[in-house]
Amino acid sequence: MTTSTPHRTVRSRSRSRRPGRLRRLVAPLLLSAGLCLGTLTATAPAQAVDSTVITSTQSGGRTVSFTFDDGPNPTDTPRLLEVLRRHGVKATFCLWGDHVRQYPHLVRAIVADGHRLCNHSMSHQDMGGWSQQQIRQNLEQTNAVIRQAAPNAQITYFRAPYGNWGQSPQVAASMGMQPLGWRLAINDWEPPGTSELLRRLMQGVTPGAVVLMHDGGGDRSQTVAAVDQAIPQLKSQGYTFDQPAVR
């Protein structure tokens, strides 16, 4: 009977049972915590970056970064990729979501060649007056389309259509994308001829500059030809090619 059990025996049994009881109590708690942590990890947003609009290269100095907007383009993007491959240059491609849907294989080719990706919205609409919710919905849709074309692709940057940023830098940064501007635009959206584009590029470039050009949105054959000629000239002037900075 309990009343006749020596006190020492009761204490001994209590000690012997305590580890087992603790294990039974702690294990469900640990399991629950693990599940909660796993859920948080799975749904955690991308790490935020600085919302500053970047216009300079990652390394600075006598470097330059080529960026190309509005692609992919079934005619000129493959030609541009071949030019960059031949010269050993890595660039950044700012992708238009509707074009990604049309030509997903070109997104895979861009990624396979080691270039960086940039979200350039779904349909190139002016976001300057949009709410943060509208912007986020558009950027999420664009990212989803890009990753459908190239699963697990890293989308490093966001560039606002027309350079009208509004509230988009804050939204993009909260999604882990660096807002990407430019220091030099050669205005190749209205092609003035290859020689003129080359002149604008060579006279306008400065050390550490991000350069805005286009591989989509129209006939970009003049841009491709100008890039082909500019790369060796820039190299001869001591320039190396870099990617845009990320903060």
Which residues are known to be catalytic? 69, 214
Picking from 58, 43, 51, 125, the residue whose alpha carbon sits closest to that of residue 91 is 58
Q: Which residue has the tokens 């919205």?
A: 121
d(CA 80, CA 102): 18
Q: Which residue has the tokens 């049972």?
A: 17
Q: Which residue has the tokens 């290269």?
A: 57
Query: E strands within 31-102?
Result: 63-71, 92-95
Picking from 175, 75, 78, 85, the residue whose alpha carbon sits closest to that of residue 121 is 175
Residues linked to residue 213 through DSSP beta bridges, in sequence order: 68
| Cβ-based neighbours of 174, under 8 Å, separated by 6 or more | 45, 48
Residue type, 81: L
